[in-house]
Structure 1
Amino acid sequence: MFITSQSSPPVFKDLTLVMPVVAVGNVGQLAVDLLISTLNLPRVGYLHTDCLIPMAGNNPYATGKEDAGELHTAAEVYAAPELKIAVLQIRAPVVKTKSRRFRRLLLSWIKASGFSRTLVLSSCHAYQRDDQQLQGTPLRYLITLSLLKSSGDAFKELGWKEMERVPLCPGRLDTGTEQPRLYIPGGGITKGLYMDSCTEDIPLAVLLVFCSEGDNVPDALALVSHLDDWLHLLDNPNREAKWKIPISWSLLFGSGIPPAIF
């Protein structure tokens, strides 16, 4: 699944893996863009799988004409061993009929690579929140028992809110027999990836934000800054001014209106 782009395969053992899930607003992918661009992470390889819709394009993190024509694909891996971090960027949706297979392949690669922990950046529909989820910050987290044992105290110190479980049928009288469920509408494979990681005892956490489709740059900045509260990758109190916007974002909403139409 993983193919290196270096002369020798990279060593991922004991690194933290950060990856997005293709979800509403593409917030996770935008946040990962900010990480790669700001930390100037080098590409070390890519994932080759038929579970993602094929795509290719120019270098989204180009710094000049020299590297602008580099070919980039649907799922690429960037790493900085000195920062103890690796980043997987996913740029294409998962093929609907291959969602479960992709999760299995992904977790198999994570286990084989020896990552110390995996942090998933995601999002879900703001309009489907229940009453308790309307209160406070729009940021939530999920954590597997395996990671909770080593990082549970950090989450308490940060004061983060765990993703609430909601009733299967909101508004129905509680009979005492119904168990609340984990519900992440618009979250793509987020729930499945988290549940599979719980089953396979993989140290994994999900950081997500409630959002709506539109200009999701503020959501991405909030999510990546939330992540940095934990990882401390940027030592600057004014982080939002320090996140480096990649060149590819100049066309985030398409090109301008052609004057010829008027």
Structure 2
Amino acid sequence: MLQLKNRDSLNLEGYTIIIPSICVGNAAQLACDLLIASKKMRRVGNLIHPALIPVFGPSAYQHNPEERVAACEIYECTANKLVVFQFRTPFISRHSQSLHNNLARLVRHAERVVILSASFGFEKREIGTSPYEYSVSDSFRQNHEAQLANVKWKEFKGNTVFGGGNGLQLFHVLEEKQVPVMLLFRYVLEGDNSTDATLIIRELNDLCSSFLRLEVENKSIKLIVPVSWKLLFGNDVTSLIF
């Protein structure tokens, strides 16, 4: 399952892990793109699993132009003990539970895991409340009680995150394995969700600034847009068709 570059093992003890779900608008994956590009994270390997539809393509980041895109990539920032998983394809559903169990074994020694997701905007029932909701395991709550007390997010009490993909299922697997885990999602609409991705990272930084350590410029965090975002919706329409 684990294919590493220039190393034999991946020691995640004491690390913070960020994992996107395959959700509405790809908002979580876009947020991870921003994080990887902004921190100039280094690719250390990728995952191979029957749940992942194979994909291969050019680099998604200008700071690492020699790399190639794969179905699931692992990026690391050793200075901040931060690892980001990035998924490029949807899952084959009948194998997703196996993938979740494998991920749980891989990250079981991490200090904390944050799953990013999104939900359909029209599923938000309370007007005027925060567009973010979250769920945390008991161990995550115990470790971050003070930070959670200061956020304006609503705690999610439901059984389904509509449009949230595999986020809630992975959360329950990690919670069962007693991994400190949080699921954070934002209500979004389909379309250009690059703005939602930026807002997710900024909101997460309010809680997690101690381990995200994003560069601050003029009292605002500095985010770098990945080169791959230039073609989020494909090439421009050629004038030759008119």
TM-score by length of 2: 0.92
In structure 1, how many angstroms separate the alpha carbons of the residues matched to 2:153 and 2:23?
21
Indicate the residue corresponding to 2:105 in structure 1.
Answer: 108
Deviations 1:208-230 (A, max 9, x none): 10011101011101101111112
**For 1:199 and 1:231, how far apart are their aligned partners in 2?**
23
Of 135, 152, 177 in structure 1, the residue corresponding to residue 128 of structure 2 is: 135
Task: Name the count of aligned residue pairs.
Answer: 237
Say what the alpha-carbon RMSD is for the aligned residues: 1.5
Distance 1:70 1:154 in 2: 36
Matched, 1:53 2:53: yes
- The amino acid of 1:85's aligned partner reads L
Q: What do residues 86-119 of structure 1 show as CA deviations (whole Å, max 9, x unaligned)?
A: 11111111101112111111111111xx211100
Distance (whole Å) between structure 1 residues aligned to residue 195 and residue 26 of structure 2: 12
Q: 1:189 aligns with which of 138, 156, 166?
A: 166
Give unpaired runs (5+ residues) of structure 2. Answer: none
CA distance in 2 between counterparts of 1:36 and 1:198 reads 26
In structure 1, list runs of 5 or more residues that go unmatched.
166-180
2:233 pairs with 1:253 = yes
Mapped pair 1:213 → 2:195: no
2:182 counterpart SS class: strand
Between the aligned residues of both structures, percent identity stands at: 28
Larger Rg: 1
Q: Which among 202, 205, 211 is matched to residue 228 of structure 1?
A: 205
For residues 19-98 of structure 1, the aligned pairs below 5 Å read 19-63=19-63, 68=65, 70-98=67-95
Q: Distance in 2 between matches of 1:60 and 1:257?
A: 22
TM-score (norm 1): 0.86
Alignment of 1:136-215 (within 5 A): 136-163=129-156, 165=157, 181-215=158-192
